[in-house]
Amino acid sequence: MDRNTIQKILIGLFLVVCIFIGLRVSNFTGVIDNNSNTSLKTEISTNSSSSKMTYGRFLEYLELGWVKQVDLYDNSRNAMVLASSPELGNRPQSIRVEIPVGASQLIQKLKEYNIDFDAHPIPRKSLFLTIASNLLLPLIFIAGLIFFFQNSDNFSQNSGSSAMNLGKSPARFDQRPDTGISFDDIAGIDEAKSEFEEIVSFLKEPERYTLVGAKIPKGVLLVGPPGTGKTLLAKAIANEASVPFYSVAGSEFVEMFIGIGAARIRDLFKKASENTPCIVFIDEIDAVGRERGAGIGGGNDEREQTLNQLLTEMDGFKENKGVIVVGATNRVDILDAALLRPGRFDRQITVGLPDRLGRLGILKVHARNKPLDQDVSLVQLANRTPGFSGADLANLLNESAILATRYKKNTITKNEVNEAADRIIGGIAGSPMEDTKNKKLIAYHEVGHAIVGSLLENHDNVEKVTLIPRGGAKGLTWFAPEEDQTLVSRSELLARIITTLGGRVAEKVIFGDPEITTGASNDLQQVTNIARQMVTRYGMSSIGPIALEDNNNEQIFLGGENDAISDRIDNEVCKIVNYCEQVATKIILDNRVIIDLIVEKLLDAETLNGDDFCDLMKQYTIPPIKA
């Protein structure tokens, strides 16, 4: 369906509704006119219980003497009858009766039965008034219709101001954007930044590019997880190029009614092409750009139309005309392939989570306007925060500043920064447990993790052990990763499993099998995951270097013997976990003395940081153990 059809259907529908309502109302006015008698109207409206009766039944009532009074209207065509009968509960009630045209002897009969009756004449009304009142409502509807046509004209052309505003693009527009963001405010995503710097230079001096025949992309798609700086980039180019900037979220094109999203897209591009050179930024473009026909229950006509319109618009304007569409999404996999074709979003820029240096850069950007104390080490903070996005890091420093204000400090110290980091990583801290047997068990569990981890050669150092509950955990042990690890060795994976098992193993060794708790369930899940991936994805078991599962943990079909393969996978996973449990048990048993000592300290202090922990460990010299 094209937009004209839709428009016709809409108008058609409107017409039908108007005619229907018009008929109903003029009918209604007719009734009032015919009956126009105030007393009847009040009678009908005041006596809400007033019911109707057939003429035949009325005659029966008459014969039985149940009728008390009759009022005649409209030249004796209608009557209001006051009657009381056993079936009416012997209470007088008004009943309306339509009188057939031929029933001329009615008045005769009423006289015969000696019924009190009255005939009400039709009030004289001027012919003009009658005609006017009959014409008034239809006229109003015709006027409404004309109004609608004019609007729908706007609706299709999107020109001028439309009273309905439906087809207007909700995009926010800045003629000379001062977003306050420059490229200096963005760190850690250098590739995307340099790409955009090029686009800015095109917008500023297009001749330089067109002279040598270079084509600047029409569409740039920023792909990456939330909070990595995609919006920030778009704002920065608008600011640096100081060209008009339109920004809108994809979801603002998703509408109930077919054609409205498409009309908004049309409107947006129309405005943009009148203001070249300019940038159109569409955030969450997946809301409109989702693969067509992929929704639940087939397709979604409205969304598909909107997407088609977007495709058409992007095809419609020529390269080097100065409209650059920047889309942002974290779900490039669900985008319709047509969007990614040459001439549309032909340039894709991945904006990933920042690495260690990237995080350091971002922290520096956000630390600029904050009074950080000498003791705060941004390098250490960057080390501690793998997996953090730019937004998380900004939030971390902001939280620290809030904490500093709370503690009435003039500068932000290491304390506040660490507390903010703990909060963001582990959740809000709860109050420490009462001194119970459980608390002791948790202390052993955590120290179990910490000791095992710090004694293994291939494991990160302890950052903190605490008995203060956070999030869902009753206690926590943090390790500080030295580097972002993109490649992880087999022995490092084993070390992770052994350390993660350390908590449960400590419970078991110290308190005995009957006392172990459910608290380790998370640990066990992690252990199983790592071990399973070692077998099925990394080829790190005796099955050999075969990928047995894909990224979605779906088994890859290996021709007929999948059951046998499943058994072998399970076997290998068990072998790995059993081996790791043995290593963990040995470490716990060999270090029982120092474990007891550290647990005692931990129960007392509730939190031990990495340095405290190291000092305690150093009192005993044990060579590292290889996994």
Pairing of β 67-73 and β 78-83:
antiparallel
Q: At its nearest, how many Å lie between ligand ADP and the CB of residue 209? A: 27
Contact pick of 40, 80, 81, 189 for ligand ADP (by CB under 6 A): 189
Whether 446 sits among the annotated catalytic residues: the reply is yes
Q: Between 390 and 503, whose beta carbon lies closer to Zn ion? A: 503
Measured from the Cβ of residue 115, the count of other Cβ atoms closer than 10 Å reads: 17
Q: At its nearest, how many Å lie between Zn ion and the CB of residue 520? A: 6
Q: Between 361 and 453, whose beta carbon lies closer to ligand ADP? A: 361
Q: At its nearest, how many Å lie between ligand ADP and the CB of residue 191? A: 12
Pairing of β 461-466 and β 347-350:
unpaired
Structure token pair of residue 315: 């095809």
Write the DSSP string, 439-464.
Answer: HHHHHHHHHHHHHHHHHBTTSPEEEE
Closest by CA position to 308, among listed 357, 354, 258: 258
How far is residue 337's CA from residue 193's CA, in Å, rounded to a whole number?
A: 25
- By the rule CB under 6 A, 244 interacts with ligand ADP: no
Q: At its nearest, how many Å lie between Zn ion and the CB of residue 521? A: 9
Q: Read off the amino acid at residue 123.
A: P
Helix (H) or strand (E) segment spanning residue 430: none
8-state DSSP, 281: E
259: left (phi > 0), else alpha (psi -120 to 50), else beta?
A: left
- By the rule CB under 5 A, 523 interacts with Zn ion: yes
Q: At its nearest, how many Å lie between Zn ion and the CB of residue 474? A: 9
3-state SS, 461-516, equals EEEEEECCCECCECCEEEEECCCCCCCCCHHHHHHHHHHHHHHHHHHHHHHCHHHC
Q: At its nearest, how many Å lie between ligand ADP and the CB of residue 192? A: 9
81, 96 in Cβ contact below 8 A?
Answer: yes
375-434: which residues touch ligand ADP (CB under 6 A)? 390-391, 394
Q: At its nearest, how many Å lie between ligand ADP and the CB of residue 370? A: 13
Q: Which does 365 bind (CB under 5 to 8 A by kind): Zn ion, ligand ADP, none?
A: ligand ADP
All residues at 6 or more sequence positions from 371 whose CB lies less than 8 Å from its CB, including other chains: 410, 411, 412
Which residues partner with 283 through β-bridges?
A: 249
CA atoms within 13 A on the CB side of 42: 3
Q: Between 352 and 427, whose beta carbon lies closer to Zn ion? A: 427
In the complex, which residue's CB is closest to Zn ion? 503
Show the CA angle centred on residue 426, arms to residues 615 and 401, nearest 5°: 90
Q: Between 227 and 469, whose beta carbon lies closer to ligand ADP? A: 227
Q: Which does 523 bind (CB under 5 to 8 A by kind): ligand ADP, Zn ion, none?
A: Zn ion
How far is residue 115's CA from residue 111's CA, in Å, rounded to a whole number?
A: 6
- By the rule CB under 6 A, 359 interacts with ligand ADP: no
419, 384 in Cβ contact below 8 A?
Answer: no
Q: Which does 282 bind (CB under 5 to 8 A by kind): ligand ADP, Zn ion, none?
A: none
Q: Between 350 and 521, whose beta carbon lies closer to Zn ion? A: 521
Q: Which does 62 bind (CB under 5 to 8 A by kind): ligand ADP, Zn ion, none?
A: none
In the complex, which residue's CB is closest to ligand ADP? 390
How far is residue 582's CA from residue 579's CA, in Å, rounded to a whole number?
A: 5
Question: Helix or strand or coil: residue 435?
Answer: coil
Tell me whether residue 590 is exposed, middle or buried, using C-beta atoms within 10 angstroms of its C-beta: 0 to 12, 13 to 18, 19 or more.
middle
How far is residue 18's CA from residue 9's CA, in Å, rounded to a whole number?
A: 14
Taking CB under 5 A as the rule, which mask of x and - marks residues 483-512 in contact with Zn ion? --------------------x---------
Q: Between 197 and 492, whose beta carbon lies closer to ligand ADP? A: 197
8-state DSSP, 256: S
120-159: which residues touch ligand ADP (CB under 6 A)? none
Contact pick of 167, 227, 277, 322 for ligand ADP (by CB under 6 A): 227
Q: At its nearest, how many Å lie between Zn ion and the CB of residue 426? A: 13
All residues at 6 or more sequence positions from 587 whose CB lies less than 8 Å from its CB, including other chains: 451, 452, 455, 456, 498, 502, 625
Q: Which does 376 bind (CB under 5 to 8 A by kind): Zn ion, ligand ADP, none?
A: none
Q: At its nearest, how many Å lie between ligand ADP and the CB of residue 328? A: 6
Q: Which does 322 bind (CB under 5 to 8 A by kind): ligand ADP, Zn ion, none?
A: none
- By the rule CB under 5 A, 426 interacts with Zn ion: no
Please count the residues of this chain forming the interface with ligand ADP, following the rule CB under 6 A.
17
Q: Which does 307 bind (CB under 5 to 8 A by kind): ligand ADP, Zn ion, none?
A: none
Task: Please list the alpha-helical segments (H only) found in 279-341.
Answer: 286-289, 301-316
Taking CB under 6 A as the rule, which mask of x and - marks residues 302-331 in contact with ligand ADP? --------------------------x---
Measured from the Cβ of residue 378, the count of other Cβ atoms closer than 10 Å reads: 19
Q: Read off the amino acid at residue 398.
A: N
Contact pick of 95, 99, 187, 325 for ligand ADP (by CB under 6 A): 187
Q: At its nearest, how many Å lie between ligand ADP and the CB of residue 169? A: 20
Q: Between 309 and 585, whose beta carbon lies closer to Zn ion? A: 585
Helix (H) or strand (E) segment spanning residue 238: helix 230-241
> Which entry of 446, 463, 507, 572 is annotated as an active-site residue?
446
Q: Between 421 and 450, whose beta carbon lies closer to Zn ion? A: 450
Contact pick of 100, 226, 293, 471 for ligand ADP (by CB under 6 A): 226
Q: Which does 254 bind (CB under 5 to 8 A by kind): ligand ADP, Zn ion, none?
A: none
Q: Of 52-60, 138-146, 226-234, 521-529, which segment contacts ligand ADP by CB under 6 A?
A: 226-234
- By the rule CB under 6 A, 232 interacts with ligand ADP: yes
- By the rule CB under 6 A, 362 interacts with ligand ADP: yes
Q: Which does 423 bind (CB under 5 to 8 A by kind): ligand ADP, Zn ion, none?
A: none
Q: Between 394 and 495, whose beta carbon lies closer to ligand ADP? A: 394
C-alpha gyration radius of the chain:
40
Measure the CA dihedral 364/369/374/379, to 10°: -10
Residues that bind ligand ADP (CB under 6 A): 186-189, 226-232, 328, 362, 365, 390-391, 394
Q: Which residues bind Zn ion (CB under 5 A)?
A: 503, 523
Active site residues: 446
